[in-house]
Structures are given as structure tokens and as C-alpha cells.
């Protein structure tokens, strides 16, 4: 009640804690969104049990070619139900307005179509089998002059025709995606002739996953991952091999430091101002445990209000980023909401420790002045 | 008025406070300061004792030691037979809360609590139920004439009213010893006199068991000394009987010729 009475100081404390929680959780929501988007291509192809890529692959979208002949070796491994090649490769798209943009060309098998966009919004899927045909991905289409079915563009200086619009999750770089057949993809990127960048593998029912994985891994020059392993590897690549992880860590750390400083300063000031009152409470027989409890209750209430405001604002700011076509992606799982309590508790704990030390040490004899 | 406090034996019988040969040294080495040099004092139950003396003579140090807030470097002190330093800090705090009431020069109100709650604080600290504590606090405030200001905030009250609230807070726990440190120093003479009347009344009141409340007042205000049953003078860390010169000055400055009895008695708290 002592701190509650000092409304200005209380508001400053709550504001500081809210800001810290907002900064930390909002930045983490964006970071989680980026990590989620980093595994977008994996989410588009949910049916693969195993992913085969070239040895040394660390990120789902950064791959190099595997020779076509390895595909037959993979298909001959016991326990493999199917193995379908996939090409994921960057290219330059020249647009009808004279501009150009980097795109991601995704080539899939013309028979099984494993790797096609999960949703087709416009056009017919079979039209993609035509020479020069591409499906343009809807959410990033605005970067390609909003190309519609029937329009033409050039990919790596070769003519391409839009035969439909699909919807899929884009990768971390948000490059527009052009879906086409393996043959068309190789025509756009001749360096991949006779090669593919990944092979998607489905297992027979009852096949021992680890055994198949081990046999596929024995093929020279390839690495085999389960979807979860590939997802984790891709996330770790973003966290540790790019500056994204460090940047977000610094921002989150900054939020924590702000919270700690504001909380510690506010509590310290509050304690200093109320020290004679704590001394008086001690003089009249209040047990130190009760004084500690008083400080903790006030700290906890301030912390919970700050947390509520901070997490609420962070949630509001995250809403636009939840849309699949959002430029600034974000993810706000309940674990993040719960985790937001930790920095708040840390701020409050530090502030309380300082206060509690002073309150416990205050000598009621100071009242006799 | 007793003039021979130093001859009492170290027994709690009939005495509220017995302090013997108290020495208090602050610091150590060349920079140490000796605040008390063998100070002894006995306060009989139900008496109002004034400790007078110039600043720095050790009055407040002696009061702090008697209150169990400061440990003497040497010597012994007993308050109703309790030797504070045989107990842990926690136990000492609880004993203090039960036995001693405090009135400070600065009122030390909690500014964000209404006066009713300020007065109830010692009871709440003792674990008394909120309703009962507030009822007793209201009674205590009525006893100091503030029954209409229960909901007022301390800042809304004058200095005199705040000191009356502080007296109510000190007495609400029905202490057996009331310790007052310069209770009128921040008040004008008329308000100071009213406050002293309340303190004097407290020393004359008895609880339901017939036990009286003893009062020790540290002051250098001659008007306060008029209310004393005993006056002791402190000089250079030692307690001495009040000198004839001091008593004469009290008589002259307070406008009293024959005795030190208070001019009137306030209603009992």
C-alpha cells in the first residue's frame, strides 16, 4: 500500500516493466515468426518422411545439386516407398514492367507432383505440364507486378508463362516462388541439367525409419534428415549462422536490461523514501518476514500489471504478423506468453532483492533522531 | 520526585526500567565516540520520567538502549525483567511491540495510509484481526480527541494532530512503557502542552489489570519537564539527579512556583 500511494512512482515502475515485457515478447514473437518462416518450404511438403540433400546442407533453402543417378540408388533402398526429386533454385525474373526480381524456382516431378503448391487458387494444375508454364505463388505475387494467369515473364532470360496461381508458405527471404516441372526448372537453370537439389522420400508402412535413414546416408555425397531434423537444422542455421539470432538476442537483452534498471531504480527509490516507515514498522514489532512479504506483494502486483499490459500490447502488435502474407511475420504461441513472465520475474526479483536487503538492515534506532 | 535512582538494586520488582552502568561506544580506535559512560537509571512503574540535557549528552542513546533498539557496549538493562539481548532480533521485535510504545520527534506516519490504519499498524503487526485492530485504533484516536478524523490522511493534519495520532499509535497496543523522544520539538508551545497532557494522562491511566504505564521522555523543553514525576539530567554520558539550577529554571520558565505538577490533566487515553 505504501508504493500504491506513490502513484507517480508506481506508474513509472509499471510503465518500465510493461515496456520491458513488450520489447522482449514482441521481438521474440517476430524472431519465432522468422524461424517459422525459415521452415516454410518444409511445411509446404508435409508428406515426405525423409529429406535427402547434398552433404553439408545446413539450411533447407541453401542446397547444391545431387546427380540424377543417385535417385535410382535411393529408390532401390529397402523400405523406400517412393523417392521424388525436387529442385529449389534461385533465378532472376524479368517482369512485364521492365523491372526484375529474384525469384525461387521450385521444380517438381511431372507425374507425382510431390512438391507442388499445397493450394491452387487459380488455373489448372495440369497446365503446369506445358512447356514454359509456371504457377506463381499468391502471397508474394505483388512483387511480380501481380502477375495473373495468361501473363508472361522471363526467368533467367527464358520465356515463362503463368498458368495459374498457387498458395504456399514462402521462405525467410520472402522471394516470390514460381512452381513448375523439373524439366521447365532445368530449362530456366541449365546448370541443374541431370541434377536435382533435394529428394523427398516416403517410407513403406512398417519400415524402420532409422534403418532406411542409415542406408540412404551410405550413398556418397548425400545427407539424409527427417523432416524434424531438417526443420531444427534450418532453425539453428538462422540462429547461429546469420546475424538474425544475435540481433534479436541483443534487442531482447536490451529489453531485459531496461526492465532490470527501471525496476531496480524504482524499487530502490521507493525503499529509500519509505525506510523510516519500515523502521517504524520494525520498532512496533513487525517481524522481518512480514516486511519482506510487504515488499514482495508490492513487487508482484506491479510486475503482474506490467506483464499484463506488456503482453497485451505485444499480442496486439503481433496480430498483423500472423497473416500468411505478412511482410513482418510473427508467431505468438502460449509458451511465449508464459515465457514473458520470466523476464518480468527477473526484473521484479532484482528490484525486490535490493529493497529487501535495505528493509531487513534498517535499524529502528534511526527513528530516534 | 525521586532523586536517588542509582541506589536501586537490579531487580524488576516494582520497577519498570533498570539500567546499570551502561556504556556505549560508537566506532573503534582513535575515531571512537563514547556516548554513555556508566549511565544508570531506574524508572518505577507508573512514573513519568524526564531525561533532560543538552544535545549530544547521550539522552537518545540511553533511550535507544532502554527501548531494546541499541545494544550497550557494557552494562545491563532490564525492562519489566526482560533483558532484550537474550532474545533474537525477531523475538526482540515482538517483545518491543508488546511492552513499549514510541512517540518520536518526527511523527513517522505512513503517508499513504489514513490515520486509522496508521494507528492500527502495531496491532496488525501483532497479528490481531483487522476488524478488532481498527476498532481499537478508533478508540485510541477518540482518546486523543481525533474521533472525527479517522479517515484523514496524515498530510491533512497539523503537526499537533499528527503527534496526537502518534500518541494514539503508541498507546493502542496498551504498552507498559511509553518512550518519547523530544515529542514537542516540532510543535508550538500550546500544542506541545496539549501533547504533554495526553502523555501525562497516559502515565496516570491503568489497564484492566490495574497496571500503570511508565513514561520516559527525552527533552530539553522546560514546559515538558513540568509534567515529570522525576527529572534526571544527563551530562557527558552519565545520568544525574536534576540539579537545583535546572529545577529552578523549570519553575521559572514554566511559570510554576512550587511544584512540577501539570496544570491540568487531560482525559485518560
Contact B120/A at CB under 8 A: no
pLDDT in the model for residue A5 = 60
Q: What is the pTM of this model?
A: 0.69
**What are B41-78's pLDDT values in tens digits?**
999 888 899 999 888 888 889 999 998 889 999 999 99
Contact A360/B at CB under 8 A: no
Q: Sort out which chain A residues have CB atoms less than 8 A from B70's CB and list them.
A: 365
pLDDT in the model for residue A2 = 56
For A1, the closest of B67, B69, B113 (CB atoms) is B113
Q: Sort out which chain B residues have CB atoms less than 8 A from A368's CB and list them.
A: 60, 63-64, 67, 69, 104, 181
Strands laid side by side in the B15-26 sheet:
B33-44, B15-26, B74-79
Contact B89/A at CB under 8 A: yes
B96–A287: do the CB atoms touch at under 8 Å?
Answer: no
B112–A364: do the CB atoms touch at under 8 Å?
Answer: no
For B108, the closest of A4, A280, A363 (CB atoms) is A280
A6–B112: do the CB atoms touch at under 8 Å?
Answer: yes
Which one has a higher pLDDT value, A43 or B244? B244
pLDDT in the model for residue A300 = 87
Low-confidence residues in chain A, pLDDT < 50: none
Q: Sort out which chain B residues have CB atoms less than 8 A from A277's CB and list them.
A: 108, 110
How many other C-beta atoms can be found within 10 angstroms of the C-beta atom of residue A13? Answer: 28
A285–B64: do the CB atoms touch at under 8 Å?
Answer: no
Q: Which residue of A has its CA nearest to B108?
A: A277
pLDDT in the model for residue B259 = 46
- The contacts found for A325-328 with CB under 8 angstroms, 24 or more apart, are A325/A138, A325/A139, A325/A140, A327/A174, A328/A30, A328/A33
Confidence of residue B263 (pLDDT cuts 50, 70, 90): very low
CA distance B191 to B161: 9
Q: A202 forms bridges with which residues in the sheet?
A: A82
CA distance B87 to B81: 13
B104–A363: do the CB atoms touch at under 8 Å?
Answer: no
pLDDT in the model for residue B196 = 87
**Residue whose C-alpha cell reads 509458451 in the numeric block:** A335
For B108, the closest of A287, A365, A367 (CB atoms) is A367
Task: Tell which A residues from 5 to 44 touch B, by Cβ distance under 8 Å.
Answer: 5-6
Contact B174/A at CB under 8 A: no
For A285, the closest of B70, B104, B122 (CB atoms) is B122
Strands in B129-213 per DSSP E: 177-181
Grouping H, G, I as helix, E, B as strand and the rest as coil, residue A230 is helix
CB-defined contacts A:B, below 8 A: 79
Q: Are strands A158-167 and A133-137 parallel, antiparallel or unpaired?
A: parallel
For B102, the closest of A277, A283, A288 (CB atoms) is A283
For B90, the closest of A2, A4, A287 (CB atoms) is A287
CA distance A357 to A339: 27
A368–B64: do the CB atoms touch at under 8 Å?
Answer: yes
pLDDT in the model for residue A272 = 82
pLDDT in the model for residue A324 = 65
For A2, the closest of B64, B95, B112 (CB atoms) is B112
Q: Are strands B74-79 and A195-196 parallel, antiparallel or unpaired?
A: unpaired
ipTM: 0.78
Confidence of residue B12 (pLDDT cuts 50, 70, 90): very low
For A284, the closest of B89, B97, B105 (CB atoms) is B97
What cell was used for B138?
Answer: 478508533
**Interface with chain A: mutation pick from B79, B102, B156, B171, highest number of A CBs within 10 Å:** B102
Contact B110/A at CB under 8 A: yes
E strand or H helix at A74, and its extent? helix A69-75
CA distance B196 to A103: 91
A365–B122: do the CB atoms touch at under 8 Å?
Answer: no
Contact A292/B at CB under 8 A: no
**What are B173-185's pLDDT values in tens digits?**
888 899 998 888 8
Confidence of residue B9 (pLDDT cuts 50, 70, 90): very low
CA distance B136 to B132: 6
B112–A290: do the CB atoms touch at under 8 Å?
Answer: no
Q: A87 forms bridges with which residues in the sheet?
A: A107
**What are B208-242's pLDDT values in tens digits?**
777 778 999 998 888 888 888 999 999 889 999 88
Eight-state DSSP code of residue B206: B
Q: Which residue of A has its CA nearest to B218?
A: A368
Report the share of chain A in percent with pLDDT over 70: 97
A276–B108: do the CB atoms touch at under 8 Å?
Answer: yes
**What are B90-118's pLDDT values in tens digits?**
888 888 888 999 888 888 888 888 999 99
pLDDT in the model for residue A80 = 94
Burial of A221 (0-12, 13-18, 19+ CB in 10 A): exposed
Contact A202/B at CB under 8 A: no
CA distance A224 to B85: 75
What cell was used for A124?
Answer: 489448372
Grouping H, G, I as helix, E, B as strand and the rest as coil, residue B108 is coil
Contact B162/A at CB under 8 A: no
CA distance A327 to A334: 22
**What are A232-244's pLDDT values in tens digits?**
888 888 888 888 8
Report the share of chain B in percent with pLDDT over 90: 32
Contact B212/A at CB under 8 A: no
B126–A6: do the CB atoms touch at under 8 Å?
Answer: no
Q: B17 forms bridges with which residues in the sheet?
A: B43, B79
Query: A264, A3 in Cβ contact below 8 A?
Result: no
Q: Sort out which chain A residues have CB atoms less than 8 A from B84's CB and list them.
A: none
Contact B113/A at CB under 8 A: yes
Q: Longest C-alpha distance within chain A, in Å?
A: 96
For A367, the closest of B94, B104, B126 (CB atoms) is B104
Query: B208, B172 in Cβ contact below 8 A?
Result: no
Q: Sort out which chain B residues have CB atoms less than 8 A from A279's CB and list them.
A: 108
Contact A275/B at CB under 8 A: no
B93–A287: do the CB atoms touch at under 8 Å?
Answer: yes
CA distance B110 to B118: 6
Amino acid at each position: 500500500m505504501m508504493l500504491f500511494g506513490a502513484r507517480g512512482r508506481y506508474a513509472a515502475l509499471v510503465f518500465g516493466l510493461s515496456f520491458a515485457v513488450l520489447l522482449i515478447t514482441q521481438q521474440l514473437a517476430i524472431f519465432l515468426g522468422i524461424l517459422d518462416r525459415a521452415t516454410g518450404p518444409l511445411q509446404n511438403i508435409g508428406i515426405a518422411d525423409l529429406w535427402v540433400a547434398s552433404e553439408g546442407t545446413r539450411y533447407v533453402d541453401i542446397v547444391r545439386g545431387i546427380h540424377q543417378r543417385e535417385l535410382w540408388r535411393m529408390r532401390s533402398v529397402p523400405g523406400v516407398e517412393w523417392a521424388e526429386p525436387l529442385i529449389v533454385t534461385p533465378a532472376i525474373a524479368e517482369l512485364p514492367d521492365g523491372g526484375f526480381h529474384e525469384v525461387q524456382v521450385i521444380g517438381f516431378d511431372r507425374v507425382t507432383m510431390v512438391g507442388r503448391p499445397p493450394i491452387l487458387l487459380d488455373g489448372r494444375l495440369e497446365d503446369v505440364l506445358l512447356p514454359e508454364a509456371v504457377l506463381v505463388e499468391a502471397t508474394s505475387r505483388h512483387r511480380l507486378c501481380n502477375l495473373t494467369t495468361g501473363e508472361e515473364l522471363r526467368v533467367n532470360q527464358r520465356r515463362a508463362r503463368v498458368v495459374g496461381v498457387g498458395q504456399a508458405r514462402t521462405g525467410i527471404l520472402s522471394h516470390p516462388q514460381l512452381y513448375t516441372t523439373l524439366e521447365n526448372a532445368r530449362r530456366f537453370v541449365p546448370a541443374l541439367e541431370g541434377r536435382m537439389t533435394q529428394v523427398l522420400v516416403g517410407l513403406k508402412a512398417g519400415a524402420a525409419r532409422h534403418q532406411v535413414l542409415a542406408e540412404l546416408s551410405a550413398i556418397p555425397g548425400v545427407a539424409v534428415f527427417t523432416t524434424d531434423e531438417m526443420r531444427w537444422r534450418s532453425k539453428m542455421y538462422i540462429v547461429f549462422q546469420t546475424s538474425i539470432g544475435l540481433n534479436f538476442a541483443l534487442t531482447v537483452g536490451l529489453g531485459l536490461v531496461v526492465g532490470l534498471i527501471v525496476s531496480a531504480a524504482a524499487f530502490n527509490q521507493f525503499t529509500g523514501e519509505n525506510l523510516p516507515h519500515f523502521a517504524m514498522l520494525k520498532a512496533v514489532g513487525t517481524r522481518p518476514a512480514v516486511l519482506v512479504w510487504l515488499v514482495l506483494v508490492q513487487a508482484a502486483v506491479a510486475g503482474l500489471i506490467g506483464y499484463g499490459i506488456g503482453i497485451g500490447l505485444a499480442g496486439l502488435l503481433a496480430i498483423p504478423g500472423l497473416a500468411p502474407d505478412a511482410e513482418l511475420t510473427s508467431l505468438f504461441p502460449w509458451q511465449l506468453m508464459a515465457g514473458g513472465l520470466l523476464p518480468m520475474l527477473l526484473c521484479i526479483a532484482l528490484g525486490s532483492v535490493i529493497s529487501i536487503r535495505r528493509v531487513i538492515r534498517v535499524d529502528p534506532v534511526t527513528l530516534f533522531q | 520526585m525521586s532523586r536517588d535512582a542509582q541506589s536501586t538494586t537490579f531487580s524488576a520488582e516494582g520497577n519498570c526500567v533498570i539500567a546499570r552502568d551502561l556504556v556505549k561506544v560508537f566506532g573503534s580506535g582513535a575515531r571512537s565516540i563514547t556516548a554513555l559512560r556508566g549511565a544508570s537509571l531506574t524508572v518505577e512503574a507508573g512514573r513519568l520520567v524526564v531525561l533532560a540535557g543538552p544535545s549530544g549528552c547521550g539522552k537518545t542513546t540511553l533511550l535507544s538502549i532502554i527501548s531494546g533498539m541499541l545494544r550497550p557496549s557494557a552494562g545491563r538493562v532490564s525492562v519489566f525483567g526482560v533483558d532484550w539481548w537474550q532474545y533474537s532480533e525477531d523475538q526482540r521485535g515482538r517483545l518491543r511491540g508488546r511492552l513499549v510504545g514510541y512517540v518520536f520527534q518526527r511523527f513517522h506516519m505512513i503517508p499513504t495510509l489514513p490515520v486509522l490504519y496508521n494507528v492500527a499498524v502495531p496491532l496488525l503487526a501483532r497479528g490481531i484481526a483487522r476488524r478488532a485492530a481498527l476498532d481499537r485504533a478508533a478508540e485510541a484516536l477518540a482518546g486523543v480527541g481525533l474521533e472525527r478524523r479517522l479517515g484523514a490522511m496524515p498530510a491533512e493534519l497539523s503537526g499537533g494532530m499528527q503527534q496526537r495520532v502518534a500518541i494514539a499509535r503508541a498507546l493502542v497496543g496498551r504498552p507498559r512503557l511509553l518512550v518519547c523522544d523530544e515529542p514537542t520539538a516540532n510543535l508550538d508551545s500550546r500544542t506541545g502542552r496539549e501533547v504533554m497532557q495526553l502523555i501525562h494522562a497516559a502515565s496516570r491511566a491503568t489497564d484492566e489489570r490495574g497496571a500503570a504505564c511508565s513514561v520516559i521522555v527525552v527533552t530539553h523543553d522546560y514546559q515538558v519537564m513540568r509534567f515529570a514525576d522525576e527529572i534526571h539530567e544527563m551530562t557527558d554520558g552519565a545520568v544525574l539527579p536534576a540539579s537545583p539550577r535546572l529545577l529552578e529554571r523549570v519553575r521559572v520558565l514554566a511559570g510554576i512556583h512550587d511544584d512540577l505538577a501539570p496544570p491540568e490533566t487531560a482525559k485518560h487515553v
